[in-house]
Chain A
Amino acid sequence: MNGTWTQIGYLVASVLFILALKGLSSPRTARNGNLLGALGAVIGTVVLFLSGIPLNNLALIIAAIAVGSAIGAVSARRVKMTQMPQLVALFNGVGGGAAALISVIEYLEVGGEDTLALTATVFTVVVGSVSFSGSIVTFLKLQEVMTTRPVIVPAGKYVTILVAVATIGGAIWLVVAPQTWLLVALLVLALVFGVLFVLPVGGADVPIVISLLNAFTGLSVAASGYVLGNVLLIIAGTLVGASGTLLTREMAKAMGRPITSTLFGAFSGTTAGGGGSGSDRPVRSGSANDVAIMLGFASKVILVPGYGLAVAQAQNVLRELADMLAERGVEVDYAIHPVAGRMPGHMNVLLAEASVPYEQLKEMDEINPEFSSTDVVLVVGANDVVNPAARTDKSAPIYGMPILNVDQAQQVVFLKRSMRPGFAGIENEILYDPKTMLLFGDAKDSLTKVVAALKAV
């Protein structure tokens, strides 16, 4: 395969990647779009093998591809849908790590004669490493291996700034005077920076950070493509860098958070919000029977599913409840907050898994005007997305985030495991409102009981 055919092959793969992103932007074409992307990846890989580049360690290379593909496919197949965000974070991280490694090797083999190539190499090492370690921290946060609260290191801000300055300074120095030890030092600094960068980010902002790191990895892949003179890497990496940046902005907008506040001192410092003084205040709790009666005799009910629903695997029971209510003539809708679950759109995926009809899922802007004419809102495992502190309390970390206006409904029922605050770690005033009833317990158990009670009503 000569050079021209190789380039044409890469062009085909690039077009397929563009079509993939285009397809992923619409529900009807999304799945085919993803398959086109996969096809593009296969074509790109085959073209590379046929292109006649030197392939010294062919057997080892093929073995590494096989093992990596198997690990990727099996973990993607096995992961529970609730844990999918952290798997995406992890995949993103290893991609960034791969880009950084490639540049390190390229540096060791070729060294740095060309300043432009050297700059791209250094960029890839730094950005790829930040993406790698940052993604690992987001993974640990989402997996709840470590706290989801913002971690504030003493004098952390100054340490972070210091590390950032050292990283940038080291990067410039390396371009001016290439030395291997400096490259290693830079790699370590960038890894440390990635950790410091993500540590102070609060749980609710983690999705935005994943999206941003995704864009970072894209850019580092593009830069490594420049170093290697590979057009496909440049195009694919840049596409992801650009679309990832836009997507990050969209997500931040959906949460009503300026991107700068997410990144620089989001939720930093005083977080606990509301001072936690309310924990001892009385709440009104009820039984499954009470809830069944309220729902059964309502004329309009809105269901607000949250991450707790997914964790309890209660999607199917919720749908059963919704179906029963609909049969009784109750008007039922699902209100989906853009960031319900752990990532924008996550809840739609989880409910689709339980075969909830697509058209019953109402987005926030569509459903918010309807709460005031709603008899009962049933909140299942959601908290931050219905917390009015986002509207009223300027000191609350979620202040400014658009929320579902459940407090405007006649009555609100919360299914909760405990009085523990949500992912963002803030008290929710609605819980203490006299029109609110709480039903404590695992969401699935509670819903099952409500369904049983409703049959008797």
Chain B
Amino acid sequence: MEGMDANVALLAIFVLSIFVGFEVVSKVSTVLHTPLMSGANAIHGIVLLGGIIVTGAADGALEISLGLLAILLGAINLVGGFVVTDRMLEMFKPKTKPAPARESGSDA
């Protein structure tokens, strides 16, 4: 790694992340498309960190106000995203009663 340009390192991270991103979601059943979209949506809420970084370094009133707005929006995205995804997935949990035992087929 010695002497690796910082920009090249970031580029490498970027490119590898693209492949990982493709790989982890290949072969998802349509049943999970909605929760997956919602979960991915929550993950980009991590933009909250960016809001904290710029606001932490800001001194002008305009910059601070915009920064606080960014933090507010980022937190809504992050927290709301994970909570709503959890609510969707809550319903996929296996029922405590043995559901398949109920005969639902023909009476032959």
Please list the residues of chain A having a beta carbon within 8 angstroms of any beta carbon in chain B: 13, 17-18, 20-22, 24-27, 30-31, 33-35, 37-38, 40-41, 44-45, 48-49, 53-58, 60-61, 64-69, 71-73, 75-77, 79, 81, 84-85, 87-88, 91-92, 94-95, 97-99, 101-102, 104-106, 108-109, 116, 210-211, 214, 217-218, 221-222, 224-226, 228, 230-244, 246-247, 250-251, 254, 299, 326, 329, 331-332, 338, 343-346, 348-349, 352-353, 355, 357-361, 363
In the complex, which residue of chain A has the Cβ closest to the Cβ of B20?
A: A18
Q: Would you call A226 and B47 a contact (CB within 8 A)?
A: no
Q: Which of B35, B57, B80, B81 counts the most chain A CB atoms within 10 A?
A: B80
B92 CB contacts on chain A under 8 angstroms: 27, 30-31, 349, 352, 358
Contact of B57 among A56, A73, A210, A348 (CB under 8 A): A56
Within 8 A of A (CB), among B16-57: 17-22, 24-57
B71 CB contacts on chain A under 8 angstroms: 61, 64-65, 68, 98
Q: Would you call B35 and A238 a contact (CB within 8 A)?
A: no
Q: Would you call B43 and A68 a contact (CB within 8 A)?
A: no
The minimal Cβ–Cβ distance linking A63 to chain B, given in whole angstroms, is: 8
A65 CB contacts on chain B under 8 angstroms: 48, 52, 71, 75
Q: Would you call A27 and B79 a contact (CB within 8 A)?
A: no
Q: Would you call B56 and A56 a contact (CB within 8 A)?
A: yes
Q: Would you call B24 and A25 a contact (CB within 8 A)?
A: yes
Contact of B82 among A30, A34, A99, A250 (CB under 8 A): A34
The minimal Cβ–Cβ distance linking A78 to chain B, given in whole angstroms, is: 10
Per DSSP, are chain B's interface residues mostly helix, strand or loop, or mixed?
A: helix
Given A61-B52, A64-B71, A98-B74: A349 touches B17 (CB 8 Å cut-off): no
Q: Would you call A240 and B33 a contact (CB within 8 A)?
A: no
The minimal Cβ–Cβ distance linking B37 to chain A, given in whole angstroms, is: 5
B72 CB contacts on chain A under 8 angstroms: 64, 67-68, 71
Q: Would you call A345 and B35 a contact (CB within 8 A)?
A: yes
B69 CB contacts on chain A under 8 angstroms: 64, 101
CA distance A237 to B43 in the complex (A): 8
Given A27-B92, A250-B28: A210 touches B75 (CB 8 Å cut-off): no
Q: Would you call B40 and A247 a contact (CB within 8 A)?
A: yes
The minimal Cβ–Cβ distance linking B24 to chain A, given in whole angstroms, is: 4
Contact of A72 among B52, B63, B81 (CB under 8 A): B81
B90 within 8 A of A: yes
Given A41-B78, A48-B49: A242 touches B84 (CB 8 Å cut-off): no
Q: Would you call A72 and B105 a contact (CB within 8 A)?
A: no
Q: Would you call B91 and A345 a contact (CB within 8 A)?
A: no
Q: 20 A-B pairs, CB-CB below 8 angstroms?
A: A24-B85, A30-B35, A30-B92, A34-B42, A44-B46, A45-B48, A53-B53, A56-B55, A61-B56, A64-B55, A68-B79, A72-B76, A94-B73, A109-B54, A210-B37, A225-B50, A228-B53, A299-B106, A331-B106, A344-B34
The minimal Cβ–Cβ distance linking A234 to chain B, given in whole angstroms, is: 6
Q: Which of B13, B21, B45 counts the most chain A CB atoms within 10 A?
A: B21
